[in-house]
Amino acid sequence: MGVFDGQVALITGGGSGIGLASARRLAADGATVVLAGRSAERLEAGAASLRDDGADVRTVTCDVTDESSVHAACAAAADAGRFTMVVANAGTGAGAPFHLTSLDDWNAVLATNVTGAFLTMKHAVPHLAANGGGSIVATSSIAAVRTHWYMTAYCVSKAALEMLVQQVADELGRVGIRANAVRPGLVPTDISTMLVDTPSIRDDYLDQMPVGRLGTTDDIAELVRYLLGPESGWVTGTCISADGGHHLRRGPRLGPLAPTLEG
C-alpha cells in the first residue's frame, strides 16, 4: 500500500524536468499522476517513461495561460480519481537587460508563471475541497529572493508566485487545503540550459552555494513529495529553498550574457 493510493495529482509542466521527476516520485508512492503541458509529444514521452516503472499516468494537453484549457485539465484530473494534489510547475523565462525587455516578453513570462499558477490553483480548489482537502505545491526559484541580471520578468514573476501561495494558504486552510512552494537553485532543466552551459556563470552559481553542486530534479521532487504528503500536514504558506544554501549569499553574476542579450 502506498501513501497516495487512490489519490490523483495534477502536474503542470509535467512532461520533463522537475514536473516529470515529481510525477515519478509521487507515482512511486501510489498516486495516479496526470501530466499537463502544451506539447502532446513531450507529455507522451514522459508518460511512457513512467509507465515503464509501473505508474498509473494520464496526460492532458494544457496551456496554463488559457482558462478553459486549465479548467479542462482539472476536470480530467478529477475524472481520474480522488483529486487531492497539485504541482503548479509550468514556467518560462526571458532574458534581456531591464530597459530592453519587451512588453511581449514581460507579459509572456507573467502569464505563464503567475497567471498560469493562479488559474491552476483556482480550478483545482473546488475539486480538492470536495474531496476533503488537499495540497498544492508551486515551483518558485532562487530568483524570487535574489536578483538576477537580465531576468527581471522572471524574478518578479517568482516573487509574485510566492505571495500567491501565501494567499491561497491563508484563505483555504479552513477547508483543508494547504499551499506551499519549493524554491530551487540552479537545476539543469530545459529552462536553465543557457545558465548551466556557460562555464563562468555556472561556476559563479556554485561559488554561492555552501553545498557546492548543481541540484537535480530528484532533489526537488523529494521536497515536492514531502509537501504533498501527510508528513507535512501542519505546514502551509511556506516556501522552502532547495538550493545548496544559495539563498544565504548573493545572486549570480550574469555579465557574460551581456554581449548576447545587449548586442
User: 135 lies in a domain?
Assistant: yes
User: 2 lies in a domain?
Assistant: no
Q: What is the pLDDT of residues 63-112, one digit of tens each?
A: 999 999 999 999 999 999 999 999 999 999 999 999 999 999 999 999 99
User: 1 lies in a domain?
Assistant: no
For range 11-40, the mean pLDDT: 98
Between the CA atoms of 234, 237, 243 and 247, what dihedral angle is there, to the nearest 10 degrees? -120
Looking at residue 138, what is its pLDDT? 99
User: 20 lies in a domain?
Assistant: yes
Residue-number span of the structural domain to which 42 is assigned: 7-262
> What's the longest Cα–Cα distance across the chain?
57
150, 154, 205, 226: the catalytic one is: 154
For range 185-198, the mean pLDDT: 95
Domain count within the chain? 1
Band of residue 1 on the pLDDT scale cut at 50, 70, 90: confident
Looking at residue 258, what is its pLDDT? 73
Q: What is the pLDDT of residues 114-124, one digit of tens each?
A: 999 999 999 99
User: 242 lies in a domain?
Assistant: yes
Q: Which three cell numbers stand for residue 152?
A: 527581471
Portion of the chain with pLDDT greater than 70, in percent: 99
User: 50 lies in a domain?
Assistant: yes
- 136: pLDDT strictly greater than 70: yes
Q: Is 154 a catalytic residue?
A: yes
**Contacts (Cβ under 8 Å, ≥6 apart) of 258:** 97, 150
Q: In this structure, what CATH number is given to the domain that contains residue 249?
A: 3.40.50.720
For range 205-229, the mean pLDDT: 98
Question: Is there a contact between 35 and 62 (Cβ–Cβ < 8 Å)?
Answer: no
For range 148-157, the mean pLDDT: 97
Looking at residue 156, what is its pLDDT? 98
Q: What is the pTM of this model?
A: 0.97
What mean pLDDT value characterizes the chain?
A: 97
Band of residue 263 on the pLDDT scale cut at 50, 70, 90: low
Looking at residue 55, what is its pLDDT? 97
Question: Is there a contact between 142 and 199 (Cβ–Cβ < 8 Å)?
Answer: no
